[in-house]
Structure 1
Amino acid sequence: MCYHLHSRMSVFLYLFFLVFGLQATIHCAQYNSSEGKVMTCHLPQQNATLYKMSSTNADFAFRLYRRFSVENPDWNIFFSPVSISAALAMLSFVSGSSTQTQILEVLGFNLTDTPMTEFHQGFQHLICSLNFPKNELELQMGNAVFIGQQLKPLAKFLDNVKTLYETEVFPTDFSNVSAVQQEINSYVEKQSKGKIIGLIQDLRLNIIMILVNYIHFKEASSNFSVDKTTTVQVPMMHQLEEYYHFVDVELNCTVLQMDYSENALALFVLPKEGHVEWVEAAMSAKTLKKWNHLLQKGWVELFVPKFSISATYDLGSTLQKMGMRDAFAEGADFPGITEDNGLKLSYAFHKAVLHIGEEGTKEGIVPEAVSLDQAEVAPLYPIIRFDRTFLLMILEKRTRSILFLGKVVNPAKE
């Protein structure tokens, strides 16, 4: 049965965020999945807009983190802020009136400070910088749009989403729900290198467009107290290594930076007992900048748990609470996609997966003059033991973009 779009009918624009982190060493290859060819991305010149955007995106990341924390108390948290920001920015590109204004406000941007052209060029530069081929960091970020074949997308939409947001567009027959599910699941499985299979199971009717946003990242690289009354057994990784670290006496936490490669780094933040909420409330772009200036390199005896976490969020509900209401309402305005009217968002969710283990981690290096005898080594260096709730950030060095952000409450729970 052929599905026809009528201007008075409220049809659904299905927004879907796919984010996945792969297990520990960073891989990045930039492919056009439909052709299997390497895509060309010319690295843009560094500019003030790129760094201003990184700061604004970081503040959005922490606002979203605090929402997830309130909505999922005592749960592990893990998501990709830069991926969500890029997908919302792309959505703002095709929206108008208050729908666009609300998306920009949720992201933390306004057109007075950042004109629309500069805003989208900034995200174009950000995506290009993240995807630019590097020797050690392998990172791929992109979008795919599955759009109803009965629609007539505007030529400007097709050109700009490809140029600005590195998006592939696939005409799709949404009248065959099972075939669409199989097509999208196959795409997801391919992009995740087989890590995510059969993600979409119950595709809704009346869907006319699905946006898939993905980020493919591979990092290179006892007892754990869940709360005062609960302790779980988890394997701990032990290293004696030089790391940038320091104790933030203002926020009552220890910060340790781990360089996985020339281009990516991780920040582990260990709040003192009972101070997790204090640290969470203070997290901001300004806080990250302060830590960046205060971190000092030194030998550390480090204990980090092995763990795998995955998290799925009803992002639509969260974004509406943050002020992005019109996009999901009957009066939603998306004039940049097609001349047909009546489009609105029906659903949005975000999934992220992370595995931290010993594969790919570097062997600890110790000074030649220092004995490896534990009795002699132990008193010489500070011991940092991540054996209670801690925060985790993975950042791309050049843009300081937060690729992933999370909190490990219980490493035994996936």
Structure 2
Amino acid sequence: MPVFLYLVLLVLGLHCTSCKNSEGKATTCYYPPKNGTLYKMSSINADFAFNLYRSFTVENPQRNIFFSPVSISAALAMLSLGACSSTQTQILESLGFNLTDTPTSEIQQGFQYLMCSLNFPKKELELQMGNSLFIGKQLKPLAKFLNEVKRFYETEVFSTDFSNISAAQQEINSHVEKQTKGNVVDLIQDLQPNTVMILVNYIHFKAQWANPFDPSKTEEDYSFLVDKTTTVQVPMMHLMEQYYHLVDTELNCTVLQMDYSKNALALFVLPKDGQMEWVEGAMSSKTLKKWNRLLQKGWIDLFVPKFSISATYDLRSTLLKMGIQDAFDDNADFPELTEDNGLKLSNAAHKAVLHIGEKGTEAVSIPEVRFLDHPEITLLHPIIQFDSSFLLLILEKSTKSILFLGKVVNPTEV
């Protein structure tokens, strides 16, 4: 009888106008030596992100899409540490790595460097990414695996009694609630009886806009076009400021870069009417590099909706279609993880939450912010209104990692 491993990925993205340094207990992070794979990581991870995005759009047409590509990549790469043969090969190749010319040791070092860089404390940017591994008391994990997941992925390992399902659920849910600052509760509801291991991955992110919006200029009832026949009313923030932006005539879209005060940025992509599928199909790491090269700074009369977006995915079907098949099969091969036989991946779940606004969430203490008028600005500057479906990317600057990727079809849909 097979025993089950759960892969649960949690993302909490909170955008606010005031925040502190990363909280939680201190960890010692050792940067590995740089290698050739490290310099290709951002491109490889970005292409995986867009491939995953396109899979989600097929499964969820005309719906909001939102997830954290970097957390999914890191969790799967971590899982590959315990795998061998085709089980490991399928995981790493689905992530976009060419195993013919890329040693697996370099891949793991690349993710180790990524984890260290993302978790390095940054003033005015709260970014914490981590993994927690809940292992059944009867399981005999190999010391090498436990050491490697701690070294590469800063993973906490907990011995859990899965024979008491309600107690195990409470233990995991309490841990998740604590790590996500109380924003994700009662995540695990229906553990399978033969579960022996659960991997939980999370990202917690808060950042301050470099140019915060003035709440007094937010229009509460602004028309947002969901489709040709549907319009919803949303709060629309407004600011006249200098931003990096461009019109991509090849992809028929407008791209706007909104910087956070420290080490992160958001890209808002507004396709022309009827061009969303064309833009979605063309998105790649090369597209991001092109935009980065062509973006130019200038005054913009900007309108951005104030909204919250969340999404929950059962990744099993998506990962199967992307080539990760053996890990879910009865013949799954995880000999580097445990001495026990019959371990296979049962489920992979992903949850993401994001709030965008002038001042962030109500739970955050906001200092007084003074807003200056710009009387010298004329009314002849370009107007960019995100009043119809648009794409949203949030990137960490030093690693060029896509922390979040999504599509806002209906900003009132929670």
Deviation of 1:136 after TM superposition, in Å, equals 2.3
Q: How does 1:237-316 map to 2 (within 5 A)?
A: 237-316=237-316
Alignment partner for residue 29 of structure 1, among 14, 22, 25? 22
Runs of 4+ aligned residues of structure 1 deviating over 4 Å after TM superposition are 25-28, 42-48, 360-367
Q: Which residue of 1 aligns with 2:376?
A: 370
Q: Provide the TM-score with structure 2 as the length reference.
A: 0.92
Q: Distance in 2 between matches of 1:275 and 1:247?
A: 13
* Contact 2:268 2:393 survives alignment (8 Å): yes
Deviation at 1:104, TM superposition (A): 1.0
Equivalent in the alignment of 1:217: 205
- Please give the alpha-carbon distance, in whole angstroms, between the structure 2 residues aligned to 1:341 and 1:193: 36
Provide the secondary structure at the position in 2 that maps to 1:348. strand
**Cα 1:267–1:354 shift into 2, 3 Å:** same
Tell whether 2:85 aligns with 1:97.
yes
Structure 1 residue corresponding to 2:127, chosen from 133, 136, 139: 139
Match of 2:344, SS state, is: strand
CA contact (8 A) 1:78 1:405 kept: yes
Call closer, same or farther: CA 1:357–1:226 in 2, change over 3 Å.
Answer: same
The 2-side partners of 1:259 and 1:43 are apart by 27
Of residues 11, 14, 17, the one that matches 2:6 is 14
> Which region of structure 1 is more displaced relative to structure 2, 38-47 or 11-20?
38-47
| Kept after mapping to 2: 8 A contact 1:240/1:364 | no
Tell me, which stretches of 5 or more residues in structure 2 are unaligned?
Answer: 210-221, 361-365
Secondary structure at the counterpart of residue 405 of structure 2: strand
Question: Which whole-Å CA distance do the structure 2 matches of 1:206 and 1:19 have between them?
Answer: 26
Distance 1:28 1:143, change over 3 A: farther
Q: What is the letter of the counterpart of residue 117 of structure 1?
A: S
Of residues 31, 40, 53 in structure 1, which corresponds to 2:41?
53
C-alpha distance in structure 1 between counterparts of 2:286 and 2:159, whole Å? 43
- With structure 1 as the length reference, what TM-score do the two structures score? 0.92
Identity of aligned residues (%): 72
Verify the 8 A CA contact 1:18 1:212 in the aligned structure 2.
Answer: yes
After TM superposition, give the deviation of residue 27 of structure 1 in Å.
Answer: 5.4
What's the RMSD between the two structures over aligned residues? 1.7
Q: How many residues are paired up? A: 394
Structure 1 residue ranges without an equivalent (≥5)? 1-8, 32-36, 372-376
Aligned match of 1:398: 398
Cα offset for 1:265? 0.3
Q: Does 1:412 align with 2:412?
A: yes
Question: Which residue among 71, 85, 88 is the counterpart of 1:83?
Answer: 71
Matched AA of 1:219:
A
Among residues 108, 116, 120, which one is paired with 1:120 in the alignment?
A: 108
1:247-292 CA-to-partner distances (Å, cap 9, x unmatched) read: 0000000000000122000000000000000000000000000000
> For residues 84-233 of structure 1, what are the structure 2 equivalents within 5 Å?
84-221=72-209, 222-233=222-233
2:192 partner letter = R
* Gap change, CA 1:175 and 1:314, over 3 Å in 2: same
Deviations 1:320-378 (A, max 9, x none): 011111000000000111111100011111000011111159776665x616xxxxx43
TM-superposed deviation, 1:102:
0.6
